[in-house]
Chains A and B, each alone.
Chain A
Amino acid sequence: MSALSVSVAMTGSGGAGVLTSGHILLKAAGAAGYFGHMRRTVGPQIRGGESAALLRLSAEEVLCPADETDVLVGFDWNNVGRFATELAVGPNSWVITDPSEGSVPDFLRESGARVIEIPMSQLAEAIPDGRVNMVGLGVVAEAIGLPLEPMRGILTKMLARKGPEAAQASFAALEAGAAAVRGLTELPKLPVAQPSAEERWNVSGNEMTALGAVKAGVRFVAAYPITPATDILEWLAPNLPKLGGQLIQAEDELASINMCLGASFGGVPSMTATSGPGLSLMMESLGLAVAAEIPVLVVDVQRGGPSTGLPTKSEQSDLNIAVHGHHGDAPLVVTAPLSVADCAFTAGWSLHLAESLQCPVLLLSEQVLGHSRVVVRRPRAFEGQAQRRLATAVDLAQSYQRYRITPDGISPMAVPGMAGGEHTLDGLEHNPHGDPSPKAEDHQAQTDKRWRKLADFDYGADWADVAGQGETAVITFGSTFGAAREALARTGGGFRHIGLRLLHPPQPAKMAAALAGVSRVLVVEQNHGGQLHKLLRAHHDLPGRVMSFCRPGPLPIRPREIEDWVAQEDQP
C-alpha cells in the first residue's frame, strides 16, 4: 500500500529518546529525498514526563499534520493517556507495542487500530549498548519503507565523538528493529521519492523566525526565557554577535521590551520574543512604542492560555490581546506566519513594517509552528533590509520636529548621534516638536497621524495568500493555513482560501476583492472565542452566510475537518 504521505507517531516517557528518534527519522527522510513535518507534544515536566514525536513524511511538501496517524510506535505507555486525543489513532492505524511494557492502553484498543507486538526492549538488550529507541527507529523505517542507509549516515555523524562502537551498536539495533517487521507488507509504505537537485532545508519555525529577523536587519534582542519562544533566543544568542549585534537575557519581560525600545531609540532594529504571559507584561510599554513611535518587533509564540495555561501546547488565542490589549487608542500592526517555513518571510516582513511605520509589530507565531521541524524547499526570505525613515540634513537644519505632521503620517526620525536632532521622546501626548502637550488639538492631530500612517500604508500582495475559487471562502490565520490549503487541494481548488498574514490593520478593499462573488464564508481558527471571526465581522462586510469554526488548542485543526465544513451546506 502506498500513499502520498505516511504519518508516524512515537511516544514514550521523557528520556526514552522519542524526540531524538523523531529528529533522526526526519533527517533520514530528508536525506532520502522526502519532505517531512514533525510536531512534538510534551508534558510540562522538565524530565520524565510524557512525550511524542508526530511525523508526516511525504514525497510532496506538507504543511500540516495528516488526518490520522498511520503508524504509532509506543516505546512505553506511561502517561500516554494525557495526549490520547492528540495522537489521532483510528481503525486504519497500526499500533506497534512492546509486550514487556504491558498491555496497550484502552483508548488505543478501542480505536480499532491493528496492534503488532514487537519485543523492542528485549531486542535492544540482546545487543551490547543497544538502545530501545534505535530499535524503534529501525521498526518504523522498515515499516514505512524508508531505507536504512541514510539513517546510518546520520547516526555515524551524530555518534562520531562516542567512537565506532557506539555507531555499531546503533546500526545493530536499527537492523534488529527492521528485521522484526520485515515482510509485513500491509503496513503503509512511503511512495518512491523523486530525485531532485533543488535545495531543501531542515528547519524549525523558531529558527526561521530568528533567521528571518536577522536577515532583515535585527541587531539587538532582549528577552526573558519562556516556553515555547526560548529557542528563538537560543539561536540568536550565539549568532547575533557574529553579525555585529547583541542579545541580553533580561531580568523579566518588562525589562526586555524596554531594553528593545532603548536600543531602537538608538537607531538599531530591535526584537524580543515571548509567549502569552510575557506579552501581557509588555503591554504597557508597547503602548509607549505606539505613542512615542518607536519601531520594535515582538514575536509572541502563542501557547494555550489564559494564565500559565498550556505552556508546551499550541493555541491561536492571543489575537484579542494583540489587537485590543492596549489602553487608549493604540494602533499597531499584527502579523502571523502561514507555516513553519513562512516564519522566515513573515519575521523579516514584520521588521520591515515596524521600521517603515515606526511602530510596534506583533508577530503571532504558535507553539506548533515554532516547535515543529520540517524538511521543505528553501524557505522564502524577505528581500532586502528593513528601512527606517531617518531625519535628513534638511530636517535637522531647522528646528527639528520629531512628530512632524506629514502626508503619510510617518515623520523622519532623528537618533542620538545626529546633531540638530536632539529631542525628548515622550509617552506623554506631545506636539510635533515632541514637547508634552495636553491640548485637544495636539491629541487629535497626533492620534490621527498614528492611525493614518498604518491605514494608508501599502502592504502589497503579502497581506494574505489567496488561492482557489468558488462561492465558499475559508479564512484562516497562522498554522491553520496548512490544513485549509490541503483541504483545498483535495477538493481540486473548489473553494477560495484566504490565509491572512496581516491581521491588523484591516485591509477592507483587498478583502472585498478577495471575497468578490462569495456567498458563504467560513472562518477557521484555534481558539474558543472565535477571535478572528469577531475581528473580521468588526471590520468587513463579509458576504452571504458567515460561519465560525473555532476550537481551543491543543488539538490541531485537520484538513478533513475543513473539507467537511465546506461540504456541508447546513452548518450552523
Chain B
Amino acid sequence: MIPKDYKSDMKPVWCPGCGDFGVVAAITRALSEMQLPRHQVALVSGIGCSSRLPAYTTVYGFHGVHGRALPVASGLKTARPDLTVIAMGGDGDGFSIGANHFVQACRRNLDLTYIVMDNEVYGMTKGQASPTTEADWTMSQLTPHGPGIEPFRPLEVALAAGANFIARAFAGDPAHLTRLIVEAVATPGFAFINVLSPCVTFRAEQKLWKERVHEGFGEPTADRGEAYRRLMQDDGFTLGALYKGNFQPHSPYAEAPVNIADMEARFRV
C-alpha cells in the first residue's frame, strides 16, 4: 500500500502552513513503509489542533478527551497487543493536562509510540501559552507579562521517567520524521518523538525554525548519562534519535488458566 492509501479524504481543520501537515504525511509514509494492514493500526489522540490527526488517516482512530490519549492507548495496547498503537497530540495535551500520564506511560513502558506535535502554544483556543512556551512570551492576553515559568523539557522528562526511545524531529522534514517513526514503532517499549511543528498563526516567528534546526544527537545512545550530557548541550533544536534503551517492555502477566467454577469453589462454606 502506498502512503495515499492511509490518507482519508477529510479536509484538515489546520491553517495553511501548519506543521501538522508534515506529521500526517510522515505517519502515512511510515505506515506504508511498514506495510501495516490498516485494520491493525490505531491512532489515539486527545484534544487540540494536532489531536484531529487520526481522522485524516484511514486506520482505526480514537479522538478522546483532553489530555488522556496515553491512558486510552495503554488500555488498548494491553487489551489488544496484536495492534500497532500510536498515540499523539499537542504540547498542551501531553505536557500540561496530560503530563502525569506522560510520566507514567514512560515508566510503564508499554510497547507504544507517542508523537507530540510541539508548537509551544495553544492553537485551538487561539494562542495561549503552553507548557513549552518561553517564560517571557508576552503575546497572549491571558499571560500579558509572559507565563513567567520555565518551559517544560519533554526529552529530559522522558529520559528521567524511563522512556525506552527518545527522539526529536521537525515537521518541515517529513522524510526524517518518517524514518524516526519506523524506528520508534520497531523499538520495543515506549517510544517518544517530540516534533517541532510550527504554528504559523499564533507563533509566526516559528516559520524560522527551519533555519534553526540542526543535526547533532548523532547515533542514539543506550547510556542514560551520555543522553543527559547531550541534552545539557542541546539548544532545543537538535534533531534525531537521542536515546534507545534496553528496558524490557511491560508485558501482561501470564497465569496458568483456571476456570471460573474452580474460583467459585473457594466461596463455598
> Could you tell me the distance in whole angstroms from the C-beta of B66 to the nearest C-beta in chain A?
8
Q: Determine whether the beta carbon of A270 is less than 8 Å from that of B60.
A: no
Contact of B135 with A by CB under 8 A: no
Q: What mask results when residues 48 to 84 of chain B are scored 1 for a CB within 8 Å of chain A, else 0?
A: 0000001100111111110110111111111110110
The chain A residue with its CB closest to the CB of B100 is A251
Q: Determine whether the beta carbon of B269 is less than 8 Å from that of A30.
A: yes
Q: What mask results when residues 243 to 269 of chain B are scored 1 for a CB within 8 Å of chain A, else 0?
A: 000000000111111101001100111
> Could you tell me the distance in whole angstroms from the C-beta of A292 to the nearest C-beta in chain B?
8
Ranked 5 nearest A-B pairs via Cβ:
A424-B61, A262-B75, A259-B75, A263-B79, A258-B71
Known: A259-B72, A270-B75, A416-B39. A285 touches B62 (CB 8 A): no
Contact of A263 among B55, B76, B267 (CB under 8 A): B76
Measured as residues with beta carbon below 8 angstroms from the partner, the interface class of chain B is 35 or more
Known: A222-B75, A288-B64, A416-B39. 15 other contacts (CB 8 A): A31-B269, A202-B268, A242-B256, A255-B74, A255-B104, A260-B75, A261-B62, A261-B72, A262-B72, A266-B75, A284-B65, A416-B60, A423-B61, A425-B62, A427-B63
Contact of A243 with B by CB under 8 A: yes
Contact of A435 among B10, B39, B62, B269 (CB under 8 A): B10
Q: Determine whether the beta carbon of A258 is less than 8 Å from that of B39.
A: no
Contact of B42 with A by CB under 8 A: yes
Residues in B neighbouring A260, C-beta threshold 8 A? 75
Q: Determine whether the beta carbon of A241 is less than 8 Å from that of B252.
A: yes
Q: Determine whether the beta carbon of A418 is less than 8 Å from that of B260.
A: no
Residues in B neighbouring A211, C-beta threshold 8 A? 260, 263-264, 267
Contact of A200 with B by CB under 8 A: yes
Contact of A262 among B41, B61, B74, B264 (CB under 8 A): B74
Q: Determine whether the beta carbon of A200 is less than 8 Å from that of B269.
A: yes
Residues in A neighbouring B62, C-beta threshold 8 A? 261-262, 265, 424-425
Q: Determine whether the beta carbon of A243 is less than 8 Å from that of B100.
A: no
Contact of A432 with B by CB under 8 A: no
Q: Determine whether the beta carbon of A242 is less than 8 Å from that of B80.
A: no
Interface centre among A211, A251, A270, A428 (most CB of B within 10 A): A251
Contact of B236 with A by CB under 8 A: no
Contact of A268 among B71, B80, B101 (CB under 8 A): B80
Q: List 28 A-B contacts (CB under 8 A).
A: A27-B269, A199-B268, A200-B269, A211-B260, A220-B78, A239-B263, A241-B254, A242-B256, A248-B75, A250-B71, A251-B100, A251-B101, A258-B75, A259-B78, A261-B75, A262-B71, A262-B77, A263-B75, A265-B72, A267-B79, A268-B80, A287-B65, A418-B39, A419-B39, A421-B39, A422-B60, A423-B61, A435-B55
Bound: A260/B62 CA distance, A: 13
Q: Which of B94-119 contact A (CB under 8 A)?
A: 100-101, 104
Contact of B65 among A244, A251, A252, A288 (CB under 8 A): A288
